[in-house]
């Protein structure tokens, strides 16, 4: 068996929102199709993948480095020993051929995107949902039957007043979410007025998370921490620059409640530095590494190994990104949950069309692969890759 072709296309994300750094009207993502010569139900098995929002489509790297390396390889060098399936680890090594260590940025996104498509194909070839395959290969064989998800929203938007923020958050609760997240970091005074408004519509502080998107300096981060602590929030996310581990460690001295970070660390080496130096607390804090931005599930398995060695449970991981790939990993490898962006970053964000959020949890569809085929609008985009 072999990979017949790999297609990639940059697709705009149409979202009229912004966080501290990004105007999402200008953001795009790479959509990838890995076409195999394995035939199921009369059609070739195709795996699909895409990168998460917040980082631009790494189309140039995919076309100039990654696709040629895979297509130039001998298929014997990337399939399993029994020739029955693709081997994502061998393909990962092929993609990293000719790459120096360090500098984990767009390359990590490019590989994460293709890795997602590879795992989708692998599970389809085994005719199993990916969460089932992962649980059998790397876990106890019994995946979680539902996954905690929280609704990430509360973005700054032009003309969005506190009433609109409240309506948005109420909408998430009505959809079945138990925890909602909002952005902070513009100004302490404005943000605390917004947080007070939000707390009027959620049951308690434990149902509200706040996210500074890494924009605060230590002094301001501590000011926020002191003001946030009495609310007993679900978490206080990414206060400072993602690589300023000293800031994170220092901040923990001023904030006894849960904190979360990691979405902007794109390798096992960077993740390990957070664990080594960031003062993160394995009993209460959360880690948000996102496989779609950081060399894929192959690297995420290394991150989980690293966490285990450092005394962290996989349950402390709630990945960034709001995609079905991390949902499968969460169920199969027993993470703590997954992000969700109801209604935004479409059609990439969100889960299967017929799955409801119930008491803050979602179930997973029983279909082979990651489950993209159960999300009609997404499949329209992904399917068009091979038209």
So which residues are the catalytic ones? 183, 320
Please, what is the minimum distance in Å from the beta carbon of residue 26 to a copy of itself?
A: 6
Q: Between 27 and 333, whose beta carbon lies closer to a copy of itself?
A: 27
Nearer to a copy of itself, 126 or 241 (CB): 241
Q: List, in order, residues 6 or more apart from 383 with CB less than 8 Å away.
A: none
The conformation of residue 52, written as its DSSP 8-state character, comes to: P
Min dist CB 249 to a copy of itself, Å, is 11
Please give the torsion angle defined by the CA atoms of residues 104, 234, 139 and 299, in that order, rounded to the nearest 10 degrees: 0
Instruction: Give the 3-state DSSP-derived string for 269-297, with helices as H, strands as E and coil as C.
Output: HHHHHHHHHCCCCCCCCEECCCHHHCCHH
The interface region with a copy of itself, picked from 98-106, 117-125, 183-191, 223-231 by CB under 8 A, is 98-106
Does 338 help bind a copy of itself (rule: CB under 8 A)? no
Residues 239-268, mask of contacts with a copy of itself (x by CB under 8 A):
--xxxxxx-----------------xxxx-
The answer to whether residues 296 and 62 touch, using CB atoms and an 8 Å cutoff, is no
Element (H, E) at 339: strand 338-340
Tokens of 68: 């040629």
Separation CA 345–CA 303 (nearest Å): 26
The minimum distance between CB 314 and a copy of itself, in angstroms, equals: 22
Residues 16-55, one symbol each (x = binds a copy of itself by CB under 8 A, - = not), give -----xxx--xx--------------------------xx
CA-CA distance, 72 to 85, in Å (whole number)?
Answer: 18
Which residues make Cβ contacts (< 8 Å) with residue 69, sequence separation at least 6? 94, 95, 97, 98
Minimum CB separation of residue 138 from a copy of itself in Å reads 24
Residues 101-140 as x/- pattern, contact with a copy of itself by CB under 8 A: xxxxxxxxx-------------------------------
- Does 277 help bind a copy of itself (rule: CB under 8 A)? yes
- In the set 42, 74, 98, 219, which binds a copy of itself (CB under 8 A)? 98
Characterize 240-251 residue by residue with b for buried, 16 or more Cβ atoms within 10 angstroms of its Cβ, and e for exposed: bebbbbebbeeb
2 versus 272: smaller Cβ distance to a copy of itself: 272
Q: Quick one: which segment of 76-84, 120-128, 272-280, 332-340 binds a copy of itself (CB under 8 A)?
A: 272-280
Q: Report the C-alpha gap between 286 and 313 in whole angstroms.
A: 10
What track of x and - describes contact with a copy of itself for positions 152 through 171 (by CB under 8 A)? --------------------
**Nearest residue to 270 (alpha-carbon basis) of 302, 222, 238, 313:** 302
Min dist CB 57 to a copy of itself, Å, is: 8
Residue closer to a copy of itself by CB (options 166, 273) is 273
Helix (H) or strand (E) holding 303: helix 296-309
Of 116 and 123, the one with the shorter C-beta distance to a copy of itself is 116
* 364 φ/ψ sector (left φ>0, alpha ψ -120 to 50, else beta): beta
How near is the Cβ of 237 to a copy of itself at its closest, in Å?
A: 13
- Report the DSSP pairing between strands 338-340 and 259-261: unpaired
> Could you say which of 213, 248, 324, 328 contacts a copy of itself (CB under 8 A)?
213
Q: How far is the CB of 135 from a copy of itself (least distance, A)?
A: 30
Residues that bind a copy of itself (CB under 8 A): 21-23, 26-27, 54-61, 63-65, 98-109, 213-215, 241-246, 264-267, 269-270, 272-273, 276-277, 293
């Amino acid at each position: 068996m072999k990979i017949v072709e790999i297609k990639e296309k940059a697709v705009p994300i149409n979202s009229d929102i912004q966080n501290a750094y990004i105007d999402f009207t200008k953001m795009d993502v790479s959509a990838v199709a890995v076409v195999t010569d394995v035939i199921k139900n009369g059609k070739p098995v195709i795996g699909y993948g895409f990168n998460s929002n917040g980082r631009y489509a790494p189309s140039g790297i995919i076309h100039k480095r990654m696709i040629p390396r895979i297509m130039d390889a001998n298929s014997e060098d990337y399939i399993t020993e029994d020739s029955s399936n693709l081997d994502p680890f061998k393909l990962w090594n092929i993609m990293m051929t000719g790459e120096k260590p360090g500098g984990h940025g767009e390359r990590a996104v490019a590989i994460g995107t293709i890795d997602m498509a590879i795992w989708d194909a692998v599970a389809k070839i085994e005719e199993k949902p990916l969460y089932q395959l992962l649980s059998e290969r790397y876990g106890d064989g019994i995946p979680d039957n539902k996954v905690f998800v929280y609704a990430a929203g509360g973005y700054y938007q032009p003309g969005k007043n506190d009433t609109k923020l409240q309506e948005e958050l109420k909408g998430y609760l009505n959809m079945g979410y138990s925890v909602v997240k909002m952005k902070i970091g513009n100004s302490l005074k404005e943000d605390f007025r917004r947080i007070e408004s939000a707390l009027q519509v959620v049951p308690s502080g434990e149902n509200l998370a706040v996210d500074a998107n890494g924009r605060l300096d230590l002094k301001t981060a501590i000011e926020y921490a002191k003001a946030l602590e009495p609310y007993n929030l679900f978490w206080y996310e990414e206060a400072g620059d993602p690589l300023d581990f000293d800031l994170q460690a220092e901040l923990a001295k001023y904030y006894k409640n849960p904190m979360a970070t990691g979405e902007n660390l794109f390798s096992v080496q960077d993740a390990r530095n957070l664990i080594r130096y960031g003062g993160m607390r394995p009993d209460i804090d959360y880690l948000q590494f996102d496989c779609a931005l950081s060399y894929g599930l192959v690297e995420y398995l290394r991150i989980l190994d690293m966490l285990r060695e450092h005394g962290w449970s996989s349950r402390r991981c709630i990945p960034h990104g709001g995609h079905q790939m991390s949902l499968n990993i969460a169920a199969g490898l027993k993470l703590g949950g997954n992000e969700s962006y109801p209604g935004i970053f479409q059609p990439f964000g969100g889960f299967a069309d017929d799955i409801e959020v119930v008491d803050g949890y979602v179930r997973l569809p029983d279909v082979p692969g990651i489950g993209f085929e159960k999300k009609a609008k997404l499949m329209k985009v992904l399917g068009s890759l091979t038209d």
